[in-house]
Amino acid sequence: MAKKKAYVVWSGRETGVFDAWAPVLAATRGFPGARQNGYATRAQAEAAFAAGDPDAGGAAPRTAAESAGLASRSAAPGGRPTGPATCVDAACDTTRWVMEYRGVDLQTGEVLFAEGPFTGANANFGEFLAIVDALRRPGGEERTLYSDSLTARAWVRKRALNSAFLRDGKAGSRVAARLEDALAWLKSQPSGAKPDIRVWDTRAWGEIPADFGRKG
């Protein structure tokens, strides 16, 4: 049986796409009605997460193929983006819950900012903070931004976090302060503000330029 490379949690203490089993277990063990699944690639997992829980009620969810197509179209037409943009990503050692994140210029590969390491943190925290840091840079709200994290983009869009690390008091004090500051900034922005945050289509374009290159 092929080893699963990525996991989706639709219902749990924390939801989103994960690259390791340990955070999935932490998010779902003992959680009433927990829903998760494993996938061969991260691209498949992201498409499945975007489609929604197949066992949830309401309107029928999109298929993984439909969701992947929507993600690709929302990112950029005509192949891998080359225009002016900032790409963000995070890396997390789930054996110690140590995280770091950064933003990279899409055209030049220049590292625009890099933060961490943070203890008591996960990749979703880093992905979220990276997006907010990119937006807060001079001219950041007018610049196209790419992220491969559905969870982080949802947190930015909703201006709210959904994380067991915070609810259970497991987040380190330093990263918790950063998250609080980032949320306060987002909430201070006009309600109609819609920054140009796009999906990085990993399946079609390869790893996002801000990737740390540590995936097994």
Known binding residues for Mg(2+): 89, 127, 148, 211
Domain residue spans of the chain: 6-51, 85-199
Per residue in 131-167, pLDDT (tens digit) is: 999 999 998 888 999 999 989 999 999 999 988 888 8
Going by the DSSP 8-state scheme, the letter that residue 2 receives in this structure is P
Per residue in 101-138, pLDDT (tens digit) is: 999 999 999 999 999 999 999 999 999 999 999 999 99
CATH code, residues 6-51 = 3.40.970
State the chain's mean pLDDT as an integer: 83
How many C-alpha atoms does 66 have within 13 Å on its Cβ side? 7
Contacts of 157 (CB under 8 A, 6+ apart): none
Please tell me whether the overall predicted TM-score, pTM, comes out greater than 0.75 for this model: no
Which CATH number among 3.20.20.70, 3.30.1330.10, 3.40.50.720, 3.30.420.10 corresponds to the domain 85-199? 3.30.420.10
Segment 80-84 shows an average pLDDT of 86
> How many Cβ atoms are within 10 Å of 37's Cβ, its own excluded?
17
Known binding residues: 89, 127, 148, 211
